[in-house]
């Protein structure tokens, strides 16, 4: 049989899927469950059925976007305004997916596979993949990603349904702790995966600009402006440092 | 009729809202990225910039969740919300780069403050 570069032997594929499941079925799955419990409670607050909350996890697959969806519905905003708010909160998926796909794609990977991969892109799977994939054999990356991402998605979906019934019964301090889980886990993960100066600069600018962006930029656009300004500044400083180092290395 | 439907909670309406006003406006960015990423090499210089923008955006998401919190998180004062993030980073390094260590340290600070302030 002629070797098709897009496909690899089944044994390789399944061992990579298993690795992905194993790496997800621990802290990442637990953290996402804690975050999505809160989202289930929000769906209930706006009077939606449990199935709609669960569907939002499977389809939107972005806890911040889901919080915006149910939050703006609760505020009585018109539906087109709800859609705009959700869309603006999900802009980050454009640079995230663009950064991840070239690492996973191989010659001949069909577009529908890439579209399916893109649906699973969310903060947890993204940060994890960006950290582990550079050291992984290219043919293992897509199956590994599906194993990892499906595991966290299933765990989060179950948690959304459970949260729909549970969240109202929790003491306030514990409910606050659950809502802290996602920002805390994202932050520690980003610190863990930052390697080069450009990563630290991007994190620093992202945090440093946040209070100003929230205060100055019209609501909804703040994250977009902050990401573009902060990321570009980090990149320019990175280029400047590189150029200076190259000059210093000249004989 | 339309006004009534806008925030109706019966029948299949909530599912349509989730799909049309939640899923599609969010998913479009992922699909767009699939087409924009075509032909970009794994080691292309532009990806360094794209990754920096993505990282700054993620940091912004974290900052926003902490600075303008919703629900129960809003009952904990700002100083303690920020403090719990710092405790998370400190815990990560003290526990020899353990993500679990960082999360536990941050949660202890926040839940402790939550118990103290909710009385």
Structure confidence by residue, pLDDT tens digits, A215-237: 898 877 888 899 999 999 999 99
Judgement on whether residues A234 and A117 belong to the same structural domain of the protein: no
For the stretch A225-250, what's the b/e string if a residue is b when 16 or more beta carbons lie within 10 angstroms of its beta carbon? Answer: bbbebbbbbbbebbeeeeeeeeeeee
Domain edge (last residue) among A147, A178, A209: A178
Q: Are residues A172 and A198 in the same domain?
A: no
A146/A25 same-domain check: yes
CB A146 within 8 A of CB A120: yes
Of A149, A150, A147, A139, nearest to A109 (Cα)? A139
Residue A243 lies in a domain: yes
Nearest Cα to Cα of residue A83 among B14, B28, B7, B22: B22
CB contact under 8 A, A227 and B20: no
CA-to-CA dists, residue B112 to A34, B108, B119, angstroms: 18, 6, 11
**How far is the alpha carbon of A5 from chain B, nearest alpha carbon, in Å?**
17
3-state secondary structure of A181: helix
- pLDDT value at residue A222: 85
Among A184, A185, A213, most B C-beta atoms within 10 A, so best to mutate, is A184
Of A178, A208, A240, the residue at which a domain comes to its end is A178
Number of domains composing chain A? 2
What is the rounded distance in angstroms from the CA atom of residue A51 to the CA atom of residue B11? 11
The interface residues of chain A toward chain B in range 79-118, judged by CB-CB distance below 8 A, are 79-80, 82-84, 86-87, 89-99, 101-103, 105, 111, 114-115, 118
The answer to whether residue A238 neighbours chain B at the CB level (below 8 Å) is yes
* Element (DSSP H or E) covering residue A105: none
- Closest-CA residue of A relative to B37 is A98
Tell me the count of A-B CB pairs closer than 8 A.
318
Judged by CB atoms closer than 8 Å, whether chains meet at B62 and A73 is answered as no
Asked whether residue B20 is assigned to any structural domain, the reply reads: no
**Is 0.95 surpassed by the pTM of this model?**
no
- Euclidean distance between CA atoms A139 and A223, whole angstroms: 35
Give me the residue from A103, A175, A207 closest to B71, CB to CB: A175
Considering the domain architecture, whether residues A31 and A121 belong to the same structural domain is answered as yes
Least confident segment among A19-23, B5-9, B61-65, B101-105:
B5-9
User: Is the CB of residue A203 less than 8 Å away from at least one CB of chain B?
Assistant: yes
Which stretch of DSSP H or E encloses residue B24? helix B24-36
A94 and A149 in a single domain? The answer is yes
Between B42 and A52, where is the model more confident?
A: A52
CA dihedral sign of residues B47, B51, B53, B54: positive
When divided into structural domains, chain B yields a total of 1
pLDDT tens digits for range A33-60: 988 988 888 888 888 999 999 999 999 9
- Assess if residue B33 is contained within a domain: no
DSSP collapsed to 3 states, B61-79: HHHHHHHCCCHHHHHCCHH
HEC per residue, A9-31: CHHHHHHHHHHHHHHHCCHHHHH
List, in order, residues 6 or more apart from A135 with CB less than 8 Å away. Answer: none
Q: Judge whether B62 lies within some domain.
A: no
Q: Please check whether residue A4 lies inside any domain of the structure.
A: no
User: Does some domain include residue B12?
Assistant: no
C-alpha pair distances (Å), A68 with each of A39, A84, A122, A141, B26? 10, 10, 16, 32, 11
pLDDT band at residue A5 under the 50/70/90 scheme: low
Residue whose entry in the numeric block shows the structure tokens 């940060």: A127
Mutate to test the interface with B, among A95, A109, A185, A211 (most CBs of B within 10 A): A95
Query: Residue B94 falls within a domain, yes or no?
Result: yes
Interface test with A, best of B30, B82, B100, B109 (most A CBs within 10 A): B30
Whole domain around residue B118: which residue ranges?
69-119
Question: A203 and A173 in one domain?
Answer: no
Same domain, A105 and A136: yes
- Among A43-52, A97-106, A230-239, B61-70, the range scoring the smallest mean pLDDT is B61-70
Map residue A194 onto helix, strand or coil.
coil
- In-domain check, residue B6: no
User: Rounded distance, CA A106 to CA A92, Å?
Assistant: 24
Q: B78 lies in a domain?
A: yes
- Give the C-alpha separation, B52 to A198, whole Å: 7
In a domain, B99, yes or no: yes
* A80, B29 Cβ separation under 8 angstroms: no
Residues A99 and A166 in one domain: yes
Q: Which residue segment(s) compose the domain that A134 sits in?
A: 10-178
Last residue of a domain, one of A178, A209, A242: A178
């Amino acid at each position: 049989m002629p070797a098709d570069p897009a496909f690899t032997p089944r044994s390789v594929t399944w061992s990579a899927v298993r690795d992905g499941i194993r790496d997800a079925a621990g802290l990442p799955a637990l953290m996402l469950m804690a975050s999505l419990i809160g989202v289930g409670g929000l769906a209930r607050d706006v009077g939606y059925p449990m199935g709609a909350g669960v569907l939002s996890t499977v389809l939107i697959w972005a806890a911040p976007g889901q919080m915006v969806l149910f939050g703006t519905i609760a505020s009585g905003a018109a539906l087109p305004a709800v859609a705009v708010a959700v869309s603006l909160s999900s802009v980050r998926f454009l640079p995230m997916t663009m950064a991840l796909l070239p690492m996973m794609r191989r010659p001949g990977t069909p577009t529908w596979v890439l579209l399916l991969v893109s649906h699973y892109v969310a903060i947890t799977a993204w940060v994890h993949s960006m950290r582990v994939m550079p050291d992984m054999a290219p043919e293992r990356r897509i199956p590994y990603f599906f194993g990892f991402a499906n595991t966290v998605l299933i765990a989060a979906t179950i948690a959304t349904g459970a949260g729909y019934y549970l969240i109202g019964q929790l003491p306030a301090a514990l409910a606050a702790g659950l809502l802290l889980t996602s920002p805390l886990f994202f932050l520690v993960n980003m610190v863990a995966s930052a390697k080069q100066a450009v990563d630290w600069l991007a994190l620093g600018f992202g945090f440093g600009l946040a209070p100003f962006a929230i205060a100055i930029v019209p609501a909804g656009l703040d994250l977009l402006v902050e990401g573009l300004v902060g990321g570009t500044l980090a990149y320019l400083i990175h280029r400047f440092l590189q150029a200076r180092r190259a000059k210093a290395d000249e004989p | 009729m339309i006004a009534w439907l806008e925030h109706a909670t019966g029948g299949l309406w909530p599912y349509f809202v989730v799909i049309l006003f939640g899923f599609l406006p969010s998913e479009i960015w992922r699909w767009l990225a699939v087409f924009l990423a075509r032909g970009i090499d794994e080691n292309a210089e532009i990806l360094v910039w794209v990754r920096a923008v993505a990282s700054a955006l993620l940091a912004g998401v974290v900052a926003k969740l902490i600075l303008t919190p919703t629900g129960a998180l809003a009952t904990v004062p700002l100083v303690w919300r920020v403090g719990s993030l710092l405790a998370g980073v400190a815990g990560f390094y003290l526990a020899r780069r353990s993500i679990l260590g960082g999360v536990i340290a941050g949660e202890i600070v926040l839940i402790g403050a939550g118990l103290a302030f909710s009385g």
